[in-house]
Amino acid sequence: MPAALQEGSLLPASPDEMRMRGWEKPDFVYVIGDAYVDHSSFGPAVISRVLERYGYRVCILSQPDWKDENSIAVFGEPALGFLVSSGNMDSMVNHYTVAKKRRHEDAYSPGGKAGLRPDRAVIVYCNLIRKRFKNTPIIIGGIEASLRRLCHYDYWDDKVRHSILVDSGADLISYGMGEKSIVEIADALKSGLPADSLTFIRGTVYRSKNLPDTEKLTMLPSFEESSTSKEKYAESFREQYRNTDPFTASVLAEDYGSRGFVIQNPPALPLSMQEMDDIYDLPFTGRWHPMYDKDGGIPALQEIKFSITSTRGCFGGCSFCALTFHQGRIVQARSHESILAEAERMTKDPLFKGYIHDIGGPTADFRHPSCEKQLTKGVCRDRQCLFPKPCPNLRADHRDYVKLLRKVRSLPGVKKVFIRSGVRFDYVLADRDDTFLRELAEHHVSGQLRVAPEHVSDDVLRLMGKPEHSVYLEFVRRFDGICKKLGKNQYAVPYFISSHPGSTISDAVALAEYIRDLNYTPEQVQDFYPTPATLSTCMYYTGIHPLTGKKVYVPRSPHEKAIQRALMQYRRPENRELVLEGLKKAGRMDLYGYGPKCLIRPIRGEGHDKIGAGRKKQDRKTSDYKSQDRNKQKHKNPDRERQDKKYPGKNRNTGNRSRRRPS
């Protein structure tokens, strides 16, 4: 008997495992680009477990060989249809860095091996299915399908691509968090309805020759218009963005000419707390399929094995984040009881060492909708909850989260509970009660608190949808003050993004100055990555802010991006030439020289051996006096000391060389 069936838990991942269950054929074959991991942080595991709960037979076809047509048919033709997902990541993001270089590892594959899924995995898998099974329904979902559900700018092709529904040949997209829609789809197919008649389900996108008969219909610019006019693309994106709320969204339609229309139904309604509990209480084993043991397992699981998802949805509204399009802005939470039960199960795991790595979600400290009306009337179409200032109706309240954390850390066997999914610092400051901040510092941080101010330029922060830099500084002041009172040597470690739309070289220099004043060099720097379905990506492609219509400066060239990235790591010798070029472009050669505020020092051959461009007279005096002080201590010559005092500028031994440090 296969190991998975002996342990009585995992879904069949091979024909032998299917037959051991006594199945002649499955209802659904779920084709996924990831390895098969049965954990609630993996989308395919959630969807397959939900279908299992409703009595459907699901077989997992993980990472089939897309070069072999027979690989897609190992389970035969399913009774109801194929489900297809690229996995937990968009396959292009999984494969390529922001510099479009091939990644050498894949955390969602056995042993971290890269190359086990194709580029644009959803399209490739669907085309493979269609070659073998002409009429079997195909339903696509997950991140890749969800964020490409309508026409979208594709960074890797540098053009606007069709809805993934058009290129894949699938029948339906289940977008967002698809637990509700997938059950409705399965029930409809089981009842005998053909796939092309499933036009009525929330959270789905379908194709049709005709427009739906509804008053609440918004026509987007056609694909032809959006793909040839950046202004039209920005207009289309604006309407998509304004129609992501389940209570207020219209039906959206996109014209593809002779191919008909791609039509998006409003999102699925948010889950209640009981519905969230029901999903996360499903019998997940929390492990990968045993067939991967020989390869050392799946690295991605090791990262989150002892983390707990407490919420989904985020009202933070960061421009560079696609959560608005995928999980939505309404926060949905699990109950304390459900979370405590999962934590207790963790403590019984032989590998558990007493440390829960995270209790959170997209934003850890969001435990409820931002205001009372959202669960009945939805979120505001044209206003954000936190940006540019917290809304007067915002409920900034951490009491429920504090109670939850106290309960979990008091469980027998739990030594410490970390919060690693991040806190929204402006939301923390909006809460007049500092209990959460105090307990965060006292119990849930170990040395460093990762915080994401993203930038220091208020102009850039506005485009990012983030608060002014002064808000972050106030948070750090309060956090440091609490740590000092607690006697803890802890500090906030900022996370920054370089080359975001709106960021000029001057803005990058300002960020470098802030990093200099922190005496901190980021080990890793994240360039802005234009992924599908974000406001920032729309700005990157069009040079237009889609919500305001205003023009936006965009650093696009690889060289300028390299300069902005190098400025954040200006202390590294290999970045020196790029940093110098950046200072010249920004007109900030005052930061090149020997003064205490300078980012880099002159070297021989640059024509600045004696003084250095930008070195002020006062800086030279200070340098000379400090150098002669060192000489006084070294030589202990009273006569020389008197001479130095009388002629401080004549000391030939106070050379600049002693002041140099690696640049």
Residue 638 has pLDDT above 60, yes or no: no
Backbone phi, psi, residue 154, to 5°: -110, 115
Q: What is the CA radius of gyration of the chain?
A: 29
Residue 607 has pLDDT above 60, yes or no: no
Residue 619 has pLDDT above 80, yes or no: no
pLDDT digits (tens, 9 = 90+) for 470-480: 999 999 999 99
- How much is the average pLDDT of 194-215? 96
Tell me if residue 307 falls in helix, strand or coil. Answer: strand
Residue 406 to residues 293, 417, 557, Cα–Cα distance (Å)? 36, 9, 49
Residue 615 has pLDDT above 50, yes or no: no
The residues of the chain that CATH labels 3.40.50.280 are: 3-206+260-264
Amino acid at 276: M
Confidence at 654, pLDDT banded by 50, 70, 90: very low
CA-nearest of 333, 338, 334, 339 to 374 is: 333
CATH 3.30.750.200 for the 445-587 domain, yes or no? yes
Amino acid at 114: A
Residue 34: both structure tokens together: 């990831």
The pTM of the full predicted model, rounded to 2 decimals, is 0.89
The residues of the chain that CATH labels 3.30.750.210 are: 306-444
Confidence at 605, pLDDT banded by 50, 70, 90: low
Strand partners, 364: none
Residue 315: both structure tokens together: 């009202």
Query: DSSP letters along 480-548, please?
Result: HHHHHHHT---EEEEEEEES-TT--HHHHHHHHHHHHHHT---SS-EE----TT-HHHHHHHHSB-TTT
Residue 206 has pLDDT above 50, yes or no: yes
Count of residues in the chain: 663
Rounded-to-integer distance, Cα 501 and Cα 496, Å: 14
In the block, residue with structure tokens 């800086």: 619
Superfamily of domain 3-206+260-264: Cobalamin-binding domain (3.40.50.280)
What is the helix (H) or strand (E) element at residue 579, kind and residue range? Answer: helix 576-586
Q: CB within 8 A of 434, min separation 6: which ones?
A: 478, 482
Angle at which helix 43-53 crosses helix 179-190, to 10 degrees, equals 50
Residue 379 to residues 150, 180, 383, 644, Cα–Cα distance (Å)? 22, 20, 8, 72
Strand partners, 60: 30
Q: How many CB atoms lie within 10 A of CB 481?
A: 13
Q: CB within 8 A of 350, min separation 6: which ones?
A: none
The residues of the chain that CATH labels 3.30.750.200 are: 445-587
Rounded-to-integer distance, Cα 658 and Cα 663, Å: 14
In terms of average pLDDT, the best of 218-232, 379-393, 611-625 is 218-232
Which 8-state DSSP code applies to residue 174? E
Buried b / exposed e over 21-48, threshold 16 CB at 10 Å, is: eebeebbbbbbbbbbbbbbbbbbbbbbb
Q: Tell me if 400 sits within 8 A of 273, measured CB to CB.
A: no
Rounded-to-integer distance, Cα 254 and Cα 263, Å: 6
Query: DSSP letters along 521-536, please?
Result: --SS-EE----TT-HH
Residue 294 has pLDDT above 60, yes or no: yes
pLDDT for 524 = 79
Strand positions, DSSP E, 20-171: 28-32, 37-38, 58-62, 81-85, 138-141, 152-154, 159-161
CA-nearest of 273, 269, 294, 338 to 35 is: 294
Q: CB within 8 A of 114, min separation 6: which ones?
A: 95, 102, 103, 104, 105, 106
Rounded-to-integer distance, Cα 167 and Cα 172, Å: 12
pLDDT digits (tens, 9 = 90+) for 134-168: 999 999 999 999 999 999 999 999 999 999 999 99
Rounded-to-integer distance, Cα 239 and Cα 119, Å: 29
Q: How many CB atoms lie within 10 A of CB 303?
A: 14
Residue 492: both structure tokens together: 């906030």
User: Taken in order 100, 324, 303, 111, is the CA torsion positive or negative?
Assistant: negative
Query: DSSP letters along 622-659, please?
Result: HHHHHHHHHHHHHH--HHHHHHHHH-GGG-TT--GGGG
Amino acid at 40: S
Q: Tell me if 140 sits within 8 A of 167, measured CB to CB.
A: no
Q: Tell me if 31 sits within 8 A of 125, measured CB to CB.
A: yes
pLDDT digits (tens, 9 = 90+) for 414-443: 999 999 988 999 999 999 999 999 999 999
The CATH architecture assigned to 306-444 reads: 2-Layer Sandwich (3.30)
Distance between terminal CA atoms of the chain? 63
Rounded-to-integer distance, Cα 143 and Cα 175, Å: 8
What is the helix (H) or strand (E) element at residue 602, kind and residue range? Answer: none
Rounded-to-integer distance, Cα 281 and Cα 158, Å: 42
Average pLDDT of the residues of the chain? 90
Q: Tell me if 124 sits within 8 A of 66, measured CB to CB.
A: yes
Q: Tell me if 83 sits within 8 A of 178, measured CB to CB.
A: no
Backbone phi, psi, residue 359, to 5°: -130, 105
Query: DSSP letters along 65-108, please?
Result: -TT-GGGGGTT-S-SSEEEEE--SS-HHHHHB-TT-PBPSB-TT
Of the chain, the percentage scoring pLDDT greater than 90 comes to 86
pLDDT digits (tens, 9 = 90+) for 488-533: 999 999 999 999 999 999 999 999 999 999 998 888 789 999 999 9
Residue 631 has pLDDT above 50, yes or no: no
What is the helix (H) or strand (E) element at residue 449, kind and residue range? Answer: strand 448-454
